[in-house]
Amino acid sequence: MSIDLQTVKKIASLSRISVTDAEAEAMVPEFNNILGWVEQLGEVDVTGVEPMTAVIPNHQRLRVDAVTDGNVRDKVLANAPQAEHGFFAVPKVIE
Amino acid sequence: MTNLTDLTVAEIRDGFRAGDFSAREVATSFNANVAAAKALNAFIVETPEKALEAADAADKAKAAGETLGALSGVPIGMKDLFCTEGTQTTAASHMLEGFVPTYESTVSGKLWAAGAGMLGKLNLDQFAMGSSNETSYYGNVISPWRRAGGDNAALAPGGSSGGSSSAISARLCPAATGTDTGGSIRQPAAFTGISGIKPTYGRCSRWGIVAFASSLDQAGPMARTVRDNAILLEVMAGFDPKDSTSLDLAVPQWEANLSSDLRGKTVGIPKEYRPDGLNAEISAMWDRGIAWLKDAGAEVVEVSLPHTKYALPTYYIIAPAEASSNLARYDGVRYGQRDLPDGAGLQDMYAATRAAGFGPEVKRRIMIGTYVLSAGFYDAYYTQAQKVRALIARDFELAFETCDILLTPTAPSAAFALGEKQADPLAMYLNDVFTVPASLAGLPAMAVPGGLDSAGLPIGLQIIGKALDEQTVLNASLAIEERSGFAARPDKWW
């Protein structure tokens, strides 16, 4: 399967990464190279094989449903590019 | 007077306890080496004051007769992928430039609690994605090694833990942390003539480590000797309720149980790791390794891992898929950089922030991951890869029915020159051919130096063990270390 310029731009958009036309064009052969190479996995017979979910058997732990942390608002906001009135600030999303 | 920066972790620990020197003398010596090695670009941030602070605390505790920690008096380097409270943590990205964590990663916290001091934050490939340390936003790390014969080409220290490997081999720190997703501890260790172990997946908590591919990421130590690795790993490992994949198991006494007597152990040699065209010097080193392990009393058998050739393509589906999900958090809202073009809405801000904040390799992997997870392609790529991954893990299980450990090369070549493989991402990916399979299966694996090649560069061997059997991995590595007599070090030019 071959990837074209339009597909690269769609992947970029899904990835929320803006790319210029020149950047997208440079990515077309790169992606085709890499994806062409990984496609060899299709030749492996996986009949009856379950996809791996955990490398080391480990049971999911439960803990008491209780608050164990919190009250650290200022720490949470300390690295925000823009924080106002105790909240993260973002550009207007509703017109 | 002994040159303190030539000492191993064990020698520093023991010498400090015996009163041969103070912790402050040790920290001061390493701080001086760090400050004088800017040409290697191994550190993103230097923290000499942190090293001195820990040293003074160690000296004071010793003077007061208090119980000393396992690493009291030992300064180390910290890969800049571990969140360190109050000290910038960037993952070598522009995206996290200026990010100062308000919390400490579990693993780094354990090291400080054991008395270790921080010399600085070590450079790496951006978000740990790379095998040569050429993707860092803060510039390439240079290996202290050079080819013999006056060739002064700058060599790759390996990646992604290239700052760690460069700094240790140049004696800027006696040990450092690394992280390994597909070989990021083992390949840099091999390139620089040091040792490093990736423990069983789940031994070390991932909490507070900047995530790349969560089902593969494991922290581990890097140092010049096997014993030093055992000492550090004992401190770094252990159950952490804050990591849902952390193993709730006691930490073995790896150092106390070190033994290079391999009588009764069987070493498997996987035939698929010797492809046509394998570098002759790597192949010869492997043969020497086999002889060393036999000399240590082990039996050697050939084993087969039939799905080996599919490990790399499997990895380069699974790791980017997980990366695309993990790195979705960098959106310019909660931390890190924000790029807000005039009049931009929220979606435009995301796209502009991520375009400006990520380097080319990181973008490439996020986009490959997005593609293989997208509607219509998920089963063909991701599900298929997870099935092949199960087969790769089963190969190891079957092999371990007839042997206790596996011996393989660590990397397909000695260190290459910077720039040599950068043009072709695929050629760079092939560097991980011997390290990726153990990562996919979550197994402990260690790189240990074997000798120098004809160009005077280190080449190494890899020991892969059964899940949770780090002890046999360490012991076999020790047997190699004792027999190789590897003592080469780079001539100082920096």
Residue among B102, B317, B385 whose CB faces A78 most closely: B102
- Tens of pLDDT, residues B186-198: 999 999 999 999 9
Residue B214: Cβ-neighbour burial (10 angstroms; 0-12, 13-18, 19+): middle
Q: Quick check: is B325 catalytic?
A: no
Cβ–Cβ < 8 Å for B429, B316: yes
Cβ of B316 and A90 within 8 Å?
no
- The answer to whether position B201 is within a domain reads yes
> In angstroms, rounded to a whole number, what is the distance separating the alpha carbons of residues A87 and A74?
10
Tell whether A71 is covered by a domain.
no
Three-point CA angle B172, B174, B178, nearest 5°: 90
Q: Is A19 on the interface with B (CB under 8 A)?
A: yes
Task: Provide the pLDDT for residue B154.
Answer: 96
- Please confirm whether the linkage preceding B160 is cis (ω < 30° from 0): yes
Residue A94 has pLDDT above 90, yes or no: no
| Three-class SS state of B290 | helix
Q: Chain B partners of A2 at a C-beta cutoff of 8 Å? A: none
Host domain of residue A23: 5-42
pLDDT of residue B248: 94
Extract the runs of DSSP E, i.e. beta strands, from B80-217.
Answer: 117-122, 175-180, 195-198
pLDDT at B405 over 80: yes
- Residue B294 counted as domain residue: no
**pLDDT higher than threshold 80 for residue A1:** no
In this structure, chain B runs to a length of 494
**Residue A75 located in a structural domain:** no
Interchain CB contact of B390 with A (< 8 Å): yes
Which tokens go with B266?
Answer: 């069987």
pLDDT at B429: 85
Q: Is there a catalytic annotation at residue B265? A: no
Instruction: Report DSSP state, residue A39.
Output: G
The two structure tokens encoding residue B308: 């080996």
Contacts of B8 (CB under 8 A, 6+ apart): B174, B223, B224, B225, B227, B228
A12 reaches B (C-beta below 8 A): yes
Distance CA B189, CA B479 (A): 18
pLDDT at A95: 63
Nearest Cα to B163, choosing from B99, B73, B105, B82?
A: B82
For B232-239, what is the mean pLDDT?
A: 98
A81:B338 CB<8 A: yes
User: Residue A83 — pLDDT band, cuts 50, 70, 90?
Assistant: very high
What tens digit of pLDDT does each residue of A15-40 get? 999 999 999 999 999 999 999 999 99
Strands (E) located in B249-362: 266-270, 299-303
What pLDDT was estimated at residue B427?
A: 79
B198 has catalytic annotation: no
* Reported ipTM: 0.95
Q: How confident is the model at residue B175 (pLDDT cuts 50, 70, 90)?
A: very high
- The values of phi and psi at residue B175, to 5°, are -160, 165
- Inter-chain CB pairs, A–B, below 8 Å: 164
Specify the pLDDT at position A5. 96
Residue B422 pLDDT > 90: no
Residues of A in contact with B215 (CB under 8 A): 54-55
Q: How many CB atoms sit inside 10 A of residue B380's CB?
A: 15
Count of the separate structural domains present in chain A: 1
- Relative to beta strand B117-122, strand B43-46 is antiparallel
Give CA A1 to chain center in angstroms: 23
Whether residue A13 and residue B351 make contact (CB cut-off 8 A), yes or no, is: yes
Confidence of residue B421 (pLDDT cuts 50, 70, 90): confident
Substitution target from A18, A71, A95 for chain B, most B beta carbons within 10 A = A18
Nearest neighbour of A16 by CB, restricted to B100, B344, B351 = B351
Has residue B148 been placed in a domain? yes
How are beta strands A83-84 and A87-88 bridged, if at all? antiparallel
Residue B180 belongs to what domain range? 4-263+415-484
Within a domain: B111: yes
Averaged pLDDT of chain B: 96
**Which chain B residue's Cα is nearest to A45?**
B388
Residue with tokens 């306890």: B17
CA distance B123 to B269: 34
In a domain, B368, yes or no: no
| Residue A90 forms part of a structural domain | no
Q: For position B437, which CATH number holds? A: 3.90.1300.10
Residue A73 domain-assigned (yes or no): no
Q: Which residue of A has its CA nearest to B199?
A: A56
Quick check: is A27 in a domain?
yes
Nearest to B313 among A31, A38, A50 (CB): A38
Residue position matching structure tokens 């070590």: B122
In this prediction, residue B430 carries a pLDDT of 86
Residue B385 contacts A where some CB pair is shorter than 8 Å: yes
Position A21 in a domain: yes
Mean per-residue pLDDT for B413-419? 94
Q: What is the pLDDT of residue B227?
A: 98
Closest-approach residue (CA) in chain A for B391: A49
Cα B340 to chain centroid, rounded: 36
Instruction: Please name the amino acid found at residue B54.
Output: A
Evaluate whether residue A15 is within a structural domain. Answer: yes
Q: Chain centroid to CA A58: how far?
A: 25
Residue at B307 is within a domain: no
Catalytic residue among B72, B93, B105, B160: B160
What letter does residue B382 receive in the DSSP assignment? Answer: I
Question: CA separation (Å) from B424 to B136, B301, B322, B398?
Answer: 17, 37, 22, 35
Mean pLDDT confidence for B280-300: 97
Note whether residue B407 is domain-resident.
no
**Assign residue B275 a region: left if phi > 0, alpha if psi is -120 to 50, beta otherwise?**
beta
Least confident of B58-67, B122-131, B212-221, B428-437: B428-437
> Residue B113 above 70 pLDDT?
yes
* CB-based burial, B432-468: b 16+ in 10 Å, e otherwise: bbbbbbbbbbbbbbbbbbbbbbebbbbbbbbbbbbbb
Span of B220-234, B342-356, B411-425 with lowest mean pLDDT: B411-425
For residue A28, being part of any structural domain is answered with yes
Which stretch of B2-6, B40-44, B354-358 has the lowest confidence by average pLDDT? B2-6
Number of structural domains chain B divides into = 1
pLDDT at B1: 56
CATH number at residue A23: 1.10.20
